[in-house]
Amino acid sequence: MSPSDIEARPKQKIERREESTRPGAYFHPAVDIFEAADELVLLADMPGVSPDSIDVNLEGDQLTIEGRVKPEDYEGLKPLHVEYGVGGFWRRFTLGEAIDCESIKAQIKGGVLALHLPKAERARARRITVQAS
């Protein structure tokens, strides 16, 4: 398999989350990260999570995303087929000095959380002028 191939992984349940006091199952969301000229874009799959149930926190260089699914939305349903359990999503990333932490933006659409992580000025590609001597 080449590095450019994408391979789907099954949903990974988190066994223990010491940071949270909220009950229920949590899973690692599937995440894709793309690099553009001025930013990194992180896309996290969070099906069933509403915009008011997402927390994106930055503490030091630790970026944490958490999305909570409301269990009451699933009460009374009798599924015919289930591919994953109902639960929240949680993931943590360590950001380096190359990210402008003050300008991070987040949005959710269709169950996908998009984080735009702008590169710090010193990390952006630039052309170096060569002078004749």
pLDDT at 122 over 70: yes
Average pLDDT of 3-10?
Answer: 52
pLDDT at 37 over 50: yes
| CATH level 2 (architecture), domain 24-121 | Sandwich (2.60)
- The pLDDT-based confidence of 16 (bands split at 50, 70, 90) is very low
Element (H, E) at 57: strand 54-59
45-78: per-residue pLDDT in tens?
998 898 999 999 999 989 999 998 877 777 777 8
Pairing of strands 88-94, 12-14: unpaired
* Percent of the chain residues past pLDDT 70, beyond the cut: 77
pLDDT at 19: 53
Most confident of 3-17, 34-48, 79-93, 114-128: 34-48
Assigned token pair, 116: 């735009």
CA 131/CA 133 separation, integer angstroms: 6
Assigned token pair, 65: 């995303």
> Which sequence spans correspond to the domains of the chain?
24-121
- The pLDDT-based confidence of 87 (bands split at 50, 70, 90) is confident
pLDDT at 96: 84
Of 113, 114, 92, residue with least CA distance to 41: 114
Give the global pTM.
0.73
